[in-house]
Amino acid sequence: MQRDGKQLEASLDNLIPKVQDIKNSIGTFLMKLENEYTTMTWPSVLDNFALLSGQLNSLGRLLKSERMPALRNYVFLPLELNPERDVELEKQTEGRVLAFNHEVVPDYLRTKPEPEVEEKVQQLFTKAGTVAQDNTQVLNPDRSFVPQNKRQLNALTKITSNILDIINSAREDWENETSKKSNPSPTANMSDTNVLIAATCFGKGLKQLRRPDINTQQQITVAQQQAMQQKSQHGNALKAPSTIKTNIKSASSNHPYQRP
């Protein structure tokens, strides 16, 4: 028991600095996001994520090492609950926990999720267990998903092809719009503009209309009048005088019922 206690203390001494480093890195990253979001670049964000990832991997290797005892086998129990303010506890928790009372113990010493969360997780596990075998997937050594059967492989290939078609179509539309914006279509023709300017200012290319002569108009008017007179005379000549006289005499008729 004494040996296990010393091993646990040594493991905790190695574990606490790594957890503290992760805490400091997260706090620094959050401060940058809150105060330097206008000048922060994406490579800087990736560097912070890479730092956190390396620290978490180091912590995971420490927890899996042979010298680290199985912490899940140890139970953490509160020995004393005090509703009064504890200065030492406040200092150790950096002001997050002011008193170790009945209100904070269930949250800080919880080893299982809350009942509502645990119920939702159980529903997800139950739903995952009801999935058909044809739709299940396995992982390759390189952590990539592999379909279990040929039908699922064909469906996955079809989905991938559709996504590629959509991406290519969007790329072509984007390139066309970019080319149109960089090379706008001309809205004027300089040659036509020059022709219009020359025609407006100098009368170039315009045909001059010939005005009819006054004598010509008088001759045309006299000719029209003569033609009309000849036409009227010709029409009177075609009419022949009537030489047949018609005498209509009243015929006497004897009416059968004539009065005497």
Nearest to 109 by CA among 97, 121, 117, 118: 97
Model pLDDT, residue 191: 85
Q: Is residue 136 part of a domain?
A: no
Which of 159, 181, 203 delimits the end of a domain?
181
Question: Is a pLDDT exceeding 90 seen at residue 55?
Answer: yes
Which residue range forms the structural domain that includes residue 61?
1-74
Q: Is residue 115 part of a domain?
A: no
Q: Is residue 175 part of a domain?
A: yes
Q: Is residue 66 part of a domain?
A: yes
Q: Is residue 27 part of a domain?
A: yes
What distances in angstroms separate CA 146 from CA 74, 140, 163, 248, one per listed residue? 39, 7, 19, 128
Considering just the CA atoms, what is the radius of gyration of the chain in Å? 56
Burial of 21 (0-12, 13-18, 19+ CB in 10 A): middle
| CA 157 remoteness from chain centre | 25
Model pLDDT, residue 163: 85
Q: What is the DSSP letter of 135?
A: G
Which of 133, 155, 181 delimits the end of a domain?
181
Ranking 24-38, 40-54, 137-151, 161-175 by mean pLDDT, the lowest is: 137-151
Q: Is residue 94 part of a domain?
A: no
Q: Show the tokens assigned to 253.
A: 């008729």
pLDDT digit string (tens) for 144-191? 555 456 677 788 888 888 888 888 888 888 787 777 766 666 677 888
Average pLDDT over residues 130-134: 59
Q: Is residue 112 part of a domain?
A: no
| More confidently predicted of 155 and 49 | 49
Q: Is residue 58 part of a domain?
A: yes
Nearest to 105 by CA among 78, 139, 70: 78
Domain count, the chain: 2
Question: Helix axis angle, 42-64 relative to 2-35, nearest 10°?
Answer: 170
Residues in a beta bridge with 146: 138
Question: Is a pLDDT exceeding 50 seen at residue 1?
Answer: yes
pLDDT category at 235 given cuts 50, 70, 90 is low
One-letter identity of residue 252: S
Model pLDDT, residue 174: 78
Task: Spell out the long-range contacts of 35-42 with Cβ–Cβ below 8 A and sequence spacing 24 or more.
Answer: none
Which of 27, 57, 74 delimits the end of a domain?
74
Give me the chain's average pLDDT, please.
76
Model pLDDT, residue 199: 83
